[in-house]
Amino acid sequence: MYIRDDVWQEIMNDPKRFGELLIDYAETKKEKERLAIENKQKDQLIAEYEPKVNYCDLVLASPNLVSISLIAKDYGMSAIAFNKLLHDLGIQYKLSGTWLLYQKYANFGYTKSTTYIDENTGFSRLNTKWTQKGRLFIYETLKANGILPIIEKN
């Protein structure tokens, strides 16, 4: 153990300080060891989560759209029941046979609507699908309401 000159001078002026300085040194060393262990644990967690975070970033950046039927299956529900649940939670409403987001959620990029021609009637209709960002929004909203996807249930 190296002792700096100024510390030696302090000890020479007041020999009682030597014991106090040893105790301080031991406490500092113990704290340093605790922090080193804590850092190793955090490094391990970061290494474990990094691939998951990267995957999540890739999924959220994906331009692919998902039908409500596929999202509903994650929760063991039909599209009809799932749409009703989202309606009951104040997320969407039905207009002329098409589910649309309430204005509160309309500008976040959660859904995209495409127009198609109904072969039976010849009329154009709107089909709403969810973005990956919207899918995450649904997950977080349902989780906050105690509703988990099948994969997360015990």
pLDDT tens track for 21-50: 778 888 989 999 999 999 999 989 888 878
Q: Where are the domains of the chain?
A: 5-61, 68-152
pLDDT at 8 over 80: no
pLDDT at 57 over 70: no
Residues 6 or more apart whose Cβ sits within 8 Å of residue 116: 124, 125, 127
pLDDT at 58: 61
Largest CA distance in the chain: 101
Residues 6 or more apart whose Cβ sits within 8 Å of residue 43: none
pLDDT digits (tens, 9 = 90+) for 68-125: 999 999 899 999 999 999 999 999 999 988 899 999 999 999 999 888 888 888 888 8
Stretch 11-30: mean pLDDT: 80
Nearest to 74 by CA among 145, 128, 133, 142: 142
Q: Is 133 within 8 Å of 110 (Cβ atoms)?
A: yes
Torsion region of 45: left, alpha or beta (phi above 0 gives left; psi -120 to 50 gives alpha): alpha
pLDDT at 154 over 70: no
